[in-house]
Structure 1
C-alpha cells in the first residue's frame, strides 16, 4: 500500500513539472493552481478507499519504475525522453508466452482521430506492410492463433425512459500485461504522438511482480506474478461478463479453452448480438 502511495506521489510531482513546463513555454497567462502536496494528501484518501473496495485485484510486493514521454518544451528536460516507447519494445521482445494490451482512442469523429485510426488499420491489417500480412506470410491461416484485436462496447440508457443506446468504451489507462509477470500501466497510446517524447507528454509505470503464485500457462505449471495475474483476471472477468465462480475459465491465458472457447467465442457471440440489435458494426469489425 505504501509503495503505491509513494509511486503516486512521484507521478503527481512529475506531472506538475510537465504542466508547469508547458505553461511556461506556451506563454499561458492563466494561473496554474497546482499544489503537489495537496494532491498527495488527496491521493492517500482516494487510494485507500479504492483498495478497500477491490475484490479480485490484489496489491502485492513488486518493483516499480516510472517512465515518461517528455521533452524540453513539455517538462523542461535537457533532452527528449521516450522511456515508455523503449519499455513497450523491450517487454514485448522479452515476452515468453503472451502479451495482452488494452489501448484506447476517442471515437469522436474528429479529423485528427480519423487520421490516426486510418494508420492504425494500415498497421494492423491493411496493406503489404501490415502486421497481419507479414504474419500470414509466415503462419498462413494459423495467424489468428497468435494475434487478434478486439473492441470494448457497452449499452444502456442515456436517461430514464430513453431508448437503449450503444457506444464503444474509451480506455483511458492503457495497460500491457506480459506473461502474467510484468505490467505497464499509463496514459500513452501506442502511436508516435504519445511515444516519441517530443510531442504529447505521457507518464506510466512498469510493475514487475516479486511475489509469485502457482498458475498455468499453456497447460503447464507457471509461476505468475500475484499483482499482474490478479489484474488480468479482474479485467478479463469484467470484459467477458464472468461471475466469481467462473474465473477458473481464464486462469491459463493461452490455453485453447480460454483463448478460443471463452475469449473468441464470447467476442463472436457479442458481435452478432450488437449487430442484430444496433446495426453498429461494419462487416469487417470483430
Structure 2
C-alpha cells in the first residue's frame, strides 16, 4: 500500500453510533494491516480504552490517546511521550464546572478520576470501555494528568465556552464531540503526535493516511499526506480534509481502506 501509517479516530469514525465495530470495518482495517500498513488509533479516549478497541481489531501496536497528549506502546504499556498539565492551570475550569454542576474527569495516560458518578455518566464511561476511579475534591491533583474532559449537553457546553471566551487560557480547550470539551496542554494535538510518531518510524508524510470526524481531528487530517473526513463530520472538518467518505453508520472507514487496497499494485 502507498500508505505505511494509517491513523484512525475511534468515536464517530471507526465505531458507529452504537459504539460498535462493524464486520466490514474490521475486515478492511485488518486487511490494510496485512498489506503492510501500521494502524495507529488516534483518539481523545484514554489509553486503556483505546487498547481495548485495538484488541477488538485483533491488532497490537501504538496508540495516540488523549488528543495527542500521550503516546503509548500497546505491548509494553510504556508511555512513550506525554504532555502533563498542572493543578494551578486547571483550577478555575474545575471550579466553574463545580459551580454549574457539570461533570468532568481528570485523566492520566491510563486512569480516569471523577468526583461523582450518575446514571448518565456511568453509561457514558461504559460505552467508552472506561472504568473511572472515584476521588474526593480534597484529594491531591493526580500526578501526570494529561487531560480534563468535560461532559454535558451541547447547550451547556456552548454556554461554558461563551463564559470563558475572554479568559486568558493557559490550556488548550477543544471540542472533541457534541457532548465533550477537552482541556489539555497547549502544544498537544493529534497532528503533532502523529507527526512525531511518523518521524520516529521514518515514514514520510505523504505515506500517512488519517481518517477522523471532529474538531480534535483537524490537526491530524492536515498533517497526513491524505486526510479523510467522515460524512458525519461538521462542515469545518470537511473543509480541511482532502476527501470526505460516508458516515460512521455507513462503514465510511471501510470504504476508504477498500479503495486504498484496490489501488495498491499487485505482485
TM superposition score category, shorter chain reference? under 0.3
Larger radius of gyration: 1
- The normalised TM-score by structure 2 is 0.23
- The normalised TM-score by structure 1 is 0.22
Q: Which has the larger share of helix?
A: 1
